Amino acid sequence: MNLFDVYSLYDIEPVSGAGNYVYTADGTEYLDLYGGHAVISIGHAHPRYIDAVSRQVARLGFYSNSVVNSLQERLADILGEVSGYPDYQLFLCNSGAEANENAIKLASFATGRSRLLVFGKAFHGRTSGAVAATDNPKIQAPFNRTDNVTFVPFGDLEAAVKELSTGEYCAAMVEGIQGVAGIRVPSDDFLRGLRQTTTDSGTLLILDEIQSGMGRSGSFFAHQPSGIRPDIITMAKGIANGFPMGAVLIAPTIEARKGMLGTTFGGNHLACAAAIATLSVIADENLVANAARTGEYLLSALREMDGLTDVRGRGLMIGIDLADGAAKRRDLLFRHHIFTGGAGPDTIRLLPALCLTRDDADRFLNSFKILLDE
């Protein structure tokens, strides 16, 4: 059997990792400033993470959601406290796309409406409903296209108000920071206006914090500096430091009914152990504050460099625009042994673990400056 050939791959195979570094079989070291698409929150192979997952798999790795799982309750308590949403409800699933699917479904259940408002250049996932809400026709099959989804320009509050005033939308969904689009940060005023407009029109507000959550932005959620409280928040990526998990945080005003949502694997024992360990390390090692400090250090240094078209972001979610960004990204990887991400031909994305040190940031900055000066 052959693998279904849908991924463009670099000819590099990491076989181990430690902290902010990964290693190939021959021992070559790479600084990881991408974390596998913002998935690695606390660094590779953190000792507490290894211990928690190893202990749990030795006891019980899985049982379905037909029995009590106290680990889910413990995770809900910790996540509520760390995130600032202790009064919200938690539904656990397996990925970001699945979290968004359930969020959209829940909003439609709660309002009795069928339309969804989303924003230009959005990425909400590749499954049926999530990809319909993603602004990329290349990954939408004919089956996924629907008149129930309307796109308006990102950050255009006037356009959003015009659509939502019809009273036809179950939800407006927006990313805390657009990631795949190249790190686009919505203004606080836009988020406040969107919150007010959704409230006025009886529409739910869904914040997709799949990439921007878990402290990556220097706040636990990227929307929190605006002071708003969404009706639904979706999470995944860094929630379990690489173990597959998604989560939906649901306002207490939304009532659960038996059977309205469901999943076989979501919130299984091993996934919960991984997430609890990840959140505990983030809290105990003050990694959200570190993301804010180190992110500001990187942003300030990058903004002083010549040859860059734009530098933007918040915390350790940074976008860098420059001519031939894709070529510079390859040079960083193959010549300087630094993993970064991309967005289109001209944008480099930085999405490192929240434990990134000043020394590791300097290693990147020095290597990047060498490339820019060539």
The class (CATH top level) of 48-284 is alpha beta
Asked if 109 contacts 307 with a C-beta cutoff of 8 angstroms, the reply is: no
Alpha carbon separation from 43 to 52, 68, 143, 170, 339 (Å, rounded)? 15, 31, 39, 38, 14
Nearest to 263 by CA among 31, 66, 69: 66
Tell me, what's the pLDDT at 1? 98
Q: Please give the Cα distance from 26 to 12 (Å, whole number).
A: 11
> Residues 71-108: pLDDT tens digits?
999 999 999 999 999 999 999 999 999 999 999 999 99
Work out the angle between the directed axes of helices 157-164 and 188-200 (0-180°, nearest 10).
10
Total-model pTM: 0.98
pLDDT mean values, one per 10 residues, the chain (374 residues): 96 98 98 97 98 98 96 98 98 98 98 98 97 96 95 98 98 98 98 98 98 98 98 98 98 97 98 98 98 98 97 98 95 98 96 98 98 93
Q: Would you tell me which CATH number, out of the four given (1.10.340.30, 3.90.1150.10, 3.40.50.1000, 3.30.565.10), belongs to the domain 14-42+286-373?
A: 3.90.1150.10
Tell me, what's the pLDDT at 203? 98
- Beta-carbon neighbour count of residue 282 at 10 Å? 24
> Residues 16-60: pLDDT tens digits?
999 999 999 999 999 999 999 999 999 999 999 999 999 999 999
**DSSP class of residue 19?**
B
Structure tokens at 105: 């479904």
